Amino acid sequence: MIKEIYFKTIDSTNAYLKRNYDRLDDFCFVSADEQSSGRGRQKRIWYSESGKNLLFSVLIKDKDLIDHFENLSIVSAYAILKVLEGYGIRDLGIKWPNDVYVGQKKICGILLESVSSAQIDCLIIGIGINVNQTVFPEAYLTEPVSMKGLLKKDISIQKLKKELFEELIACFERIRRKEDFYPRISSYDLLKGKTVTAEIDGRQEEVIVAGICPDYSLQVVCHNEKICLRSGEISFHSKEV
Ligand code: BTN
């Protein structure tokens, strides 16, 4: 039985779980039609038209999964990608560390946050999927696209939500059983072979992306040297993926 808390409006589903994780169960999903302070990666704002998109977060307290936190966010992206493929969306890719793209356009963003005291108490995976919004008035870093924009029809958010929650729970279980998602994930590696401008340790560098590694770090070639980057160490500034 999937546990879900739904809000018509909330500040942020991630923030709600951060405030309340200690009284909530593992794998509790929190969804909302609208967020007044939706958050993205690198302290960006996550905009979404009210009721048009799927905005939710899931709470992870299981120690095995917390220990595999680097798998969790990219496997979540893979789970979402698979559900979107089931709707007939083609040209899907994962832009490391965990965005889901259709061609050069972003359809889904994931924000992984942790709450720590002496150790990590819980992880919160926040997911925003562009579903029925077709006009994106804000200045986005990368061009967004929605399911409706691609499929030219309204999508039932309730049905999609159920499918995604089930797929995510199934994938979390497969991570716990130590299943290796790497071969499938690397076949959707959007940055592989691309030259991108990246900020590495505070410096702007032009790098060639060798690809996602089996430990889900990203290998890049910078000044003829191969280096492996963790998601906290790199940000891409180019408009291109
Ligand atoms: C990104 O690509 O920058 C990550 C975006 C994550 C947005 C989702 S929407 C639901 C959850 N609540 C938030 O405040 N953010 C995440």
| pLDDT, tens digit, 9 for 90 and up, residues 140-169 | 778 999 999 999 999 999 999 999 999 999
Pocket flag, ligand 1, residue 46 (CB < 6 Å): yes
Q: Considering only 7-11, 71-75, 197-201, 204-208, which range has the smallest mean pLDDT?
A: 197-201
The pTM score is 0.93
- Distance from residue 13's CA to the centre of ligand 1 (Å): 8
For the chain, domains (ranges, CATH) are 3-186 (3.30.930.10), 195-240 (2.30.30.100)
Q: With bands split at pLDDT 50, 70 and 90, how would you rate the model's confidence at 2?
A: confident
Q: What is the mean pLDDT of residues 30-49?
A: 94
- Distance from residue 49's CA to the centre of ligand 1 (Å): 13
Chain segment 72-131, per-residue pLDDT in tens: 999 999 999 999 999 999 999 999 998 999 999 999 999 999 998 888 899 999 999 999
Pocket flag, ligand 1, residue 149 (CB < 6 Å): no
Per-residue pLDDT at 69 exceeds 90: no
Pocket flag, ligand 1, residue 38 (CB < 6 Å): yes
pLDDT attached to residue 235: 52
Mutate which of 20, 46, 94, 113 to test ligand 1's pocket (most atoms within 8 Å of Cβ)?
46
**CA dihedral defined by 5, 159, 175, 193, rounded to 10 degrees?**
-120
Pocket flag, ligand 1, residue 41 (CB < 6 Å): yes
Mutate which of 17, 19, 39, 108 to test ligand 1's pocket (most atoms within 8 Å of Cβ)?
39
pLDDT attached to residue 234: 53
Per-residue pLDDT at 236 exceeds 70: no
Q: How far apart are CA 227 and CA 224, in angstroms?
A: 10
